[in-house]
Amino acid sequence: MRLISRFGLEGGDYLEFGVDQGKSFASAYSIAQRHNLTAMRFYAFDSFKGLPPIEGVDQEVGQFKEGEYSCSEPQFLGNIKNKGVDLSKVITVPGWYHESLNKATKKKLKIKSAAVIWIDCDLYESTVPVLDFITDYVVDGTIIIFDDWFCFRGSPKRGEQRAFREWLSRNPVITASEYYKHGFYGNSFILHRD
């Protein structure tokens, strides 16, 4: 989050897709508070029913199961509240991404820009609508973090890697500089917009 100030993105928000039990969400909130990013709003996008049916290219490996990572919305909110998150700064957007990430949701949320986007979608089919949804919120310096970049044995033909590559191809005004690998599967990028 220190880069947010250095990049001049203090007015940007935090968007997390796939919040599970809320551990990474609460951690992001805590770090933002430590860096005095008090204007940042925190958006939690999730089905709150776990993973959808596994289809297409993601089905071939058998790494994930339908319903895995299920956590109800009230349970998620209780978890992050117990970790010190001010719920008045949190907006939850429940629903399957292919249904909930649309123009009506954009109009309702009124997000201007994203400082940090955390994508924990696991699957290609889930990541595609997320990336399409966030396109308008990307500014020069937006940090995008993929929690499951190296899933599917690290194959660039599956999961988040494939979705990201295709998204960049569809949006040539956006480029990405690899930034920081985290955990066992994660990777992050700094996005640039011409």
Are residues 64 and 123 in contact, defined by beta-carbon separation less than 8 angstroms?
A: yes
Class of the CATH domain delimited by 2-193: alpha beta
Q: Does position 10 have pLDDT exceeding 70, yes or no?
A: no
pLDDT for res 5: 55
User: What are the extents of the domains in the chain?
Assistant: 2-193
Q: Does position 171 have pLDDT exceeding 60, yes or no?
A: yes
> Which tens digit of pLDDT belongs to each residue from 31-88?
999 888 888 999 999 999 987 777 777 776 667 777 778 899 999 999 999 999 999 9
Both tokens of 91, joined, read 């907006």
> Which tens digit of pLDDT belongs to each residue from 113-167?
999 999 998 889 999 999 999 999 999 999 999 999 998 888 899 899 999 999 9
d(CA 114, CA 34): 19
pLDDT band at 24 (very low <50, low <70, confident <90, very high): very high
pLDDT for res 32: 92
> Which tens digit of pLDDT belongs to each residue from 97-125?
999 999 999 999 989 999 999 999 888 99
pLDDT band at 194 (very low <50, low <70, confident <90, very high): confident
Q: How far is residue 106 from each of residues 14, 43, 103, 130, measured CA to CA in Å?
A: 15, 12, 5, 12
d(CA 18, CA 52): 12
Phi, psi of 95 (to 5 degrees): 135, 160
Instruction: Identify the sign of the CA torsion 19, 25, 27, 31.
Output: positive
Its pTM stands at 0.92
Q: Does position 6 have pLDDT exceeding 60, yes or no?
A: no
Phi, psi of 115 (to 5 degrees): -80, -45
